[in-house]
Structure 1
Amino acid sequence: MTDLVVVSLERWDDVWRRNQHLVAQLLRADPGLRVLFVEPPADPVHDLRSRRRPQFGHRLRELPEIAAGRLHAVRPVKWMPRRLDPGADHRLARAVMRAASRLGMRHPLLWINDPGLASLAELSGWPTLYDITDDWLAADRPDAERRRTAANEATLFRLAGEVVVCSPELARRKGDLRRVELIPNAVDVADYRRPRPRPADLPAGPVALYLGTVHGDRIDARVCEATALALGTRGTLVLVGPNLLDAERLRRLERAGVRLLGPRRRDDVAGYLQHADVLVVPHVVDAFTDSLDPIKLYEYRAVGRPVVSTPVAGFRDANDPLITVAAGAAFADAVVRSVPSPTRFPDDADAPVPDWADRASEMAAVLRRLAAGHGGGAP
């Protein structure tokens, strides 16, 4: 039996990202695999300072709907800010090691997506895979946080037997530091092409729809505002996904007529994509977004709808006649031109699109190398 500890940047919830898709596929393919999924730590002090109800993590819990007895999750707690508690990261690492021990995991493989827990690789000595999905060194963050991230990444480059990246740009940036393996994102193609009923909360009339986390690191709120105003009574700009915008930007979008629906379960999102007149990617274009391999590129292509995107990585290089790349004011104009009515799920959504099952097979090969002690190491 193989044991695997996955340190994720996201919680295991109804909104699936790369880690959940890959882990679920790996469990389906290997009945001898057990996984401990480590969610980002709860931070009750930060919650209180942000005027949110404090979260206190959760103990070890089973996720039987995916793989009964073989998939568990834990969410440790960071009780104090790092500036007041220099040992916070070591305490988090120890909490993960105790959770693994309770499951009988003696020497598991370690898959780290969150560089904040680099100390776990140091303390545990477990064979480590570092999976890079975002270049946090290029994100707009305070200097202290950026320095901490750089130190953690340097630690992981030194200790990891394997390093995986999700985008060609990440391969270019990180490949100079050591050997990396490129494993891009994908989609569950068959699921996204199964016709679904129109979601009841989609507004009547033509819809331009964005699927993804509504976060200032990615979403260009000004482009969204201009697009909603340009659509006017001809259609509605709809954003589907977790909303992490500040209050002022949120008010501006709502005044412009943008409809924010919030997160939807992974089983439901295909219906929103299928019944949109045009799918949009109003992303900021900067060094951070250039490091990404947007999962929505694969989700959008799977349903065969017209797409309008700012010139971001993935979309600007896609050889797909359904994708229009436009910047500035041209973005809103392109969206307005792409909202015919009535909406109809296209019967010809059959272009080849990478599937998560294929990506999981590639990741399984990396994990086998790691288990055998044949990691790539530094160049």
Structure 2
Amino acid sequence: MFQRPQHLLSRAAKSHRVVFFEEPIRKPAAPDLPRLERHMTPSGVEVAVPILPEGMDEAASDDAQRALLDGLLAGQRPDIAWYYTPMSLGFTTHLNPVVTVYDCMDELSAFRGASPQLTLRERRLLRQADVVFTGGRSLYEAKLGLHPRVHLFTSGVDSAHFAKSRELRASGAPEPADQANIPHPRIGWFGVVDERMDLGLLDAAAALRPDWSFVMIGPVVKIDPASCPKRPNIHWLGGRKMDELPAYLAGWDCGFMNFALNESTRFISPTKTPEYLAAGVPVVSTPIKDVVRSWGAEGLVEIASSAEEAVAAMETAMSRPRESWLPKADRLLAQGSWDSIWSSMHELLRQAAATKVAGDGSLNSRAVASPNHV
């Protein structure tokens, strides 16, 4: 998945050395474990993946990851420690970076299988962080009273990338082979399929309109694949690379964000909302708070709670000519590019580094001009 972390840190890599230390992968015990697998992405981000033996408890896992990270850094002190999960505190508290960032994009403690330690570690991270970013308004409001420097940066959109769908649609370009023979109208989804998705709603909507095709793109994670509804008009195509998505979106008549309304979705601000719109695909969503406030209020996303409402909303969305809503969508999308978001974040990092250096003359002044190691 190419989401908020990838968009931001690929831009950071243009001026910094960026090492993305992934969550560990577990494998059967072997003489070469624990070990670190490393590769460089085309954007210049170095990805390091800890491979740990199965059966390690949390404390042992933290010890192993600390040793692997120290070996990777080889004694270097990072200028910026950028956190996406508070669980990483278990093996990074000794790093002493110039600036600590918490980019909070989800309420992870509400996710299925979350560690009991997560809430406690988030409190610790909020005490240590110099700056906190949030990926949605609801998260911003939830964290605002917990830290003196919380900044709202809703996720942006790579409009140029997803607008390729419009060009492909207009030109009548050939469709991906696994979608070409699926009948219209096509109702599409791309993204992770997990406990945040209301599979019952999808099943009920597909039952109401057996003449519509529901195209589902994305990996099934943390849930039993057998729980995914099986109907002749629901097509599970599996995961696809980001570069492939515009070709699929070009053939969709409507996007369906069938998020469940539960603790794991209470604070989400889905990145796919602006991505669908940038592709010229009308959108129907369940009443996720940030979607309702940001896009529903603008008349750019239809909101539905039940299967009957969803089907009616899809009919409405598909009946509206694109030229009646695309100009407004494009004006709003232009305000949220990933380049502008990263530029604003980078300035806040520069200010935080300058403040820290001013308060401690022992810190390296190069961090003021441009922190260069994340």
Q: TM-score, length-normalised on structure 1?
A: 0.80
- Aligned residue number for residue 360 of structure 2: none
Q: What is the aligned counterpart of 2:22 among 39, 43, 47?
A: 39
- Aligned residue number for residue 19 of structure 1: 5
In structure 2, the CA distance between the partners of 1:339 and 1:174, relative to structure 1 (3 Å rule), is: closer
AA partner of residue 241 (structure 2): R
In structure 2, the CA distance between the partners of 1:128 and 1:322, relative to structure 1 (3 Å rule), is: closer
State the alpha-carbon separation in 1 of the partners of residues 146 and 213 from structure 2.
46
In structure 2, the CA distance between the partners of 1:349 and 1:26, relative to structure 1 (3 Å rule), is: farther
Matched, 1:229 2:207: yes
Q: Cα offset for 1:361?
A: 1.0
Matched, 1:209 2:193: no
Q: Cα offset for 1:162?
A: 1.4
1:193–1:349 contact (8 Å) kept in structure 2 = no
- Aligned residue number for residue 215 of structure 2: 238
State the alpha-carbon separation in 1 of the partners of residues 217 and 81 from structure 2.
33
**Range with greater deviation from structure 2 (85-94 or 151-160):** 85-94
State the alpha-carbon separation in 2 of the partners of residues 170 and 274 from structure 1.
32
Q: What is the SS of the residue equivalent to 2:38?
A: strand
State the alpha-carbon separation in 1 of the partners of residues 239 and 214 from structure 2.
16
Matched, 1:181 2:160: no
Percent identity of paired positions between Structure 1 and Structure 2: 24
Structure 2 gaps, min length 5: 358-374
- Aligned residue number for residue 93 of structure 1: 66
Matches within 5 A, 1:1-379: 15-28=1-14, 30=15, 33-44=16-27, 58-63=36-41, 65-67=42-44, 71-81=45-55, 83=57, 86-101=59-74, 105-126=76-97, 127-141=99-113, 145=115, 147-179=116-148, 180-194=150-164, 195-196=167-168, 197=173, 198-202=175-179, 203-216=182-195, 218-233=196-211, 235-244=212-221, 245-250=223-228, 253-255=229-231, 257-317=233-293, 318=295, 319-334=297-312, 337-338=315-316, 349-350=326-327, 351-352=330-331, 353=333, 354-374=336-356
- Aligned residue number for residue 366 of structure 2: none
In structure 2, the CA distance between the partners of 1:338 and 1:374, relative to structure 1 (3 Å rule), is: farther
AA partner of residue 272 (structure 1): Y
**Range with greater deviation from structure 2 (121-130 or 332-341):** 332-341
Q: Cα offset for 1:185?
A: 0.1
Please provide the CA RMSD for this pair: 2.8
For 1:215-273, what per-residue CA distance to the aligned partner results, in whole angstroms no more than 9, with x for missing partners?
A: 11x1001001011112202x2011111122313312xx123631111111111112222
State the alpha-carbon separation in 2 of the partners of residues 362 and 81 from structure 1.
42
AA partner of residue 19 (structure 1): P
In structure 2, the CA distance between the partners of 1:79 and 1:344, relative to structure 1 (3 Å rule), is: farther
Q: What is the SS of the residue equivalent to 1:283?
A: coil
- Aligned residue number for residue 365 of structure 2: none
2:35–2:50 contact (8 Å) kept in structure 1 = yes
State the alpha-carbon separation in 2 of the partners of residues 355 and 336 from structure 1.
28
State the alpha-carbon separation in 2 of the partners of residues 171 and 39 from structure 1.
25
Q: Cα offset for 1:90?
A: 3.0
For 1:152-205, what per-residue CA distance to the aligned partner results, in whole angstroms no more than 9, with x for missing partners?
A: 112211211111111111111111111211111011112211223433322132
Q: What is the SS of the residue equivalent to 1:89?
A: helix
Q: Cα offset for 1:66?
A: 1.5
1:227–1:331 contact (8 Å) kept in structure 2 = no
State the alpha-carbon separation in 2 of the partners of residues 129 and 120 from structure 1.
16
State the alpha-carbon separation in 2 of the partners of residues 225 and 199 from structure 1.
25
Structure 1 gaps, min length 5: 1-14, 47-54
1:129–1:370 contact (8 Å) kept in structure 2 = no
Paired positions, count:
335
In structure 2, the CA distance between the partners of 1:321 and 1:57, relative to structure 1 (3 Å rule), is: farther
State the alpha-carbon separation in 1 of the partners of residues 325 and 353 from structure 2.
43
1:227–1:237 contact (8 Å) kept in structure 2 = no
Q: Cα offset for 1:214?
A: 0.8
In structure 2, the CA distance between the partners of 1:283 and 1:355, relative to structure 1 (3 Å rule), is: same
Q: Cα offset for 1:58?
A: 4.6
The runs of at least 4 aligned residues of structure 1 exceeding 6 Å deviation read 343-348
AA partner of residue 360 (structure 1): W
AA partner of residue 42 (structure 1): I
